[in-house]
């Protein structure tokens, strides 16, 4: 089972970064690769079990289910239900940890999934750099420290 792990430091307090990433429907507000998003069946964006349905800039569409959301742990876990990437059993967690030295945030984004063996390396690179690191870079630019 391939695994992707990306971490970074964001120059803002974890509580401030959490206000942005906690919104399960907020990807268009902070990622460079999502054009629009909606929560299906008028569910709330912080309701465990809700499904976000979003469009990518390249025209692809992804549906994900929120599996866990913790304001205490500053983390959310979600699963891909439908995606053009060719992955199955995809589960990812985005988590933030306050760094007291400098009042910044340690951010981690990780995923595990199944895919065709010949696609593992490309998907690990695509998800790691094209999704996770790209999202982190956008957050670092947004908070600007």
**Structure tokens given for 105:** 């945030």
The answer to whether 18 touches 40, Cβ cutoff 8 Å, is no
The predicted-structure confidence for 45-72, as pLDDT tens digits, reads as follows 999 999 999 999 989 999 999 999 999 9
Q: What is the pTM of this model?
A: 0.94
Burial class (CB in 10 A: 0-12, 13-18, 19+), 143: middle
The predicted-structure confidence for 16-29, as pLDDT tens digits, reads as follows 999 999 999 999 99
Q: How many domains does the chain have?
A: 1
pLDDT of residue 130: 92
Question: Residue 57's domain spans which residues?
Answer: 3-143
| Range 39-43 average pLDDT | 96
Helix (H, G, I), strand (E, B) or coil at 77: strand
* Cα atoms found within 13 Å of the Cα of residue 98, Cβ hemisphere only: 10
The predicted-structure confidence for 101-138, as pLDDT tens digits, reads as follows 999 999 999 999 999 999 999 999 999 999 999 999 99
Q: What is the CATH number of the domain that holds 29?
A: 3.30.530.20
């Amino acid at each position: 089972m391939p695994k992707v792990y990306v971490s970074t430091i964001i120059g803002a307090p974890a509580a401030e970064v959490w206000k942005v990433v906690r919104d399960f429907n907020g990807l268009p507000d902070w990622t460079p690769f999502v054009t629009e998003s909606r929560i299906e069946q008028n569910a709330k964006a912080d309701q465990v079990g809700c499904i976000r349905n979003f469009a990518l800039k390249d025209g692809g569409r992804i549906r994900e289910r929120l599996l866990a959301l913790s304001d205490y742990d500053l983390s959310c876990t979600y699963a891909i239900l439908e995606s053009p990437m060719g992955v199955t059993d995809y589960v990812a967690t985005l988590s933030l940890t306050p760094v007291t030295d400098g009042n910044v945030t340690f951010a981690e984004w990780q995923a595990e999934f199944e895919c065709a063996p010949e696609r593992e390396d490309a998907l690990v690179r695509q998800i790691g750099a094209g999704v996770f690191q790209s999202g982190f870079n956008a957050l670092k630019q947004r908070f600007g420290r």
